[in-house]
């Protein structure tokens, strides 16, 4: 007779959803997109269904770092967020990896009870019903330079799950003309969503993704190119922003 214990194990499992966490750090500022400059604590989950060629967070993506990912309950994550923020509610940024493959509904609900807000960053390949409980959903479909292919139906499902809840925005990394064309096309499919564009941050030749070195001049030239591109096109709804954290800290982790 193992049915009751199987059921109680399931109930226990549901009550203690475990999230794979790569790192929790802050407070710092959100470095990019719609919430740029806003103080935040980052919760970075481990594991991703994508392998972007220029991934800047491989330590949260590549399974060779898997041993560093800690299984944490929602309660343990919230305790750490509260400790880091001195128990003063702020906007928590959930990133990854792809955080959409983790069970995060409990964390959002428990955090809301304490006054915390939640912004989630994902490529939009996986949707969850708890998207509706977020405060902001940042969908960041990956352009051709990433080597990934966007599943438009999956992205539309993400937008639909969030339609009654958070503010949803689109964020694009743009390295070249093909990426720019991709961003225009993707944005035209979701005309109600605000668009944030940022120039790509090339990982220097031979360097690891986590390497600190960046070339700020090259980044500014890409920024200028992107602004020229957007204004020449009269794409007046798009926001163009640099990655502020890269300008300040390079590719350093934990800031
Ligand atoms: N996968 C998420 C996104 O695409 C988190 C950042 S990418 C490492 O927005």
The string of pLDDT tens digits covering residues 86-129 is 999 999 999 999 999 999 999 999 999 999 999 999 999 999 99
What's the 143 CA to ligand 1 centre distance in angstroms?
Answer: 12
Mean of the pLDDT values across residues 160-175? 96
Mean of the pLDDT values across residues 173-189? 98
What's the 95 CA to ligand 1 centre distance in angstroms?
Answer: 6
- Is the four-CA dihedral 83, 86, 88, 92 of positive or negative sign? negative
- How much is the pLDDT for 11? 53
Q: Can you tell me the distance from the alpha carbon of 196 to that of 140, in angstroms, rounded to the nearest whole number? A: 9
pLDDT level of residue 2 (50, 70, 90 thresholds): very low
Is 85 annotated among the ligand-binding residues? no
242 lines ligand 1 (CB under 6 A): no
Degrees, nearest 5: CA angle 29-106-38: 10
Whether the predicted pLDDT of 22 surpasses 70: yes
What is the chain's mean pLDDT, rounded? 91
Whether the predicted pLDDT of 209 surpasses 60: no
Whether the predicted pLDDT of 151 surpasses 90: yes
95 lines ligand 1 (CB under 6 A): yes
For residue 54, is the peptide bond before it cis, meaning its omega torsion is within 30 degrees of 0?
Answer: no
Could you give the percent of the chain with pLDDT greater than 90?
Answer: 81
Closest CA to 242 of 193, 174, 181: 174
The residue ranges of every structural domain in the chain are 17-249
The structure tokens listed for 77 are 């994550």
DSSP 115: T
Per the DSSP assignment, residues forming a β-bridge with 71 are 20
- How much is the pLDDT for 201? 85
Whether the predicted pLDDT of 132 surpasses 70: yes
Mean of the pLDDT values across residues 145-166? 97
Could you give the percent of the chain with pLDDT greater than 70?
Answer: 90
- How much is the pLDDT for 99? 98
45 lines ligand 1 (CB under 6 A): no
CATH topology of domain 17-249: TIM Barrel (3.20.20)
Mean of the pLDDT values across residues 207-229? 81
Q: Can you tell me the distance from the alpha carbon of 229 to that of 238, in angstroms, rounded to the nearest whole number? A: 11
| Ligand 1 nearest atom to the CA of residue 96, by list position | 5
- How much is the pLDDT for 215? 83
> What is the pTM (predicted TM-score) of this model?
0.91
Q: Assign residue 225 a region (left: φ > 0; alpha: ψ between -120 and 50; beta: otherwise).
A: alpha
Kindly give, in sequence order, each residue whose CB lies less than 8 Å from that of residue 84, ignoring residues fewer than 6 positions away.
24, 25, 26, 27, 41
Whether the predicted pLDDT of 10 surpasses 70: no
The structure tokens listed for 41 are 């604590």
């Amino acid at each position: 007779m193992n049915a009751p214990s199987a059921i109680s194990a399931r109930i226990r499992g549901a009550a203690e959803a475990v999230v794979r966490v790569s790192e929790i750090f802050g407070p710092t500022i959100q470095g990019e997109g719609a919430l740029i400059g806003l103080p935040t604590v980052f919760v970075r989950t481990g594991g991703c269904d994508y392998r972007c060629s220029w991934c800047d967070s491989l330590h949260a993506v590549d399974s060779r770092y898997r041993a560093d990912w800690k299984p944490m309950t929602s309660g343990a994550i919230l305790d750490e967020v509260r400790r880091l923020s001195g128990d003063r509610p702020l906007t928590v940024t959930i990133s990854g990896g792809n955080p959409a493959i983790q069970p995060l509904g409990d964390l959002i609900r428990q955090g809301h009870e304490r006054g915390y807000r939640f912004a989630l960053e994902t490529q939009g390949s996986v949707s969850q019903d708890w998207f509706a409980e977020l405060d902001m959903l940042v969908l960041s479909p990956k352009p051709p330079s990433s080597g990934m292919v966007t599943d438009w139906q999956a992205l539309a499902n993400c937008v639909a799950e969030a339609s009654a809840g958070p503010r949803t925005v689109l964020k694009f990394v743009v390295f070249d003309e093909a990426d720019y064309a991709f961003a225009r096309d993707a944005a035209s499919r979701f005309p109600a969503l605000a668009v944030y564009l940022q120039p790509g941050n090339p990982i220097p030749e031979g360097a690891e993704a986590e390497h600190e070195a960046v070339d700020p001049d090259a980044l500014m030239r890409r920024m200028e190119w992107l602004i020229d591109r957007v204004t020449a096109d009269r794409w007046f709804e798009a926001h163009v922003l640099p990655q502020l954290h890269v300008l300040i800290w390079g590719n350093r982790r934990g800031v």
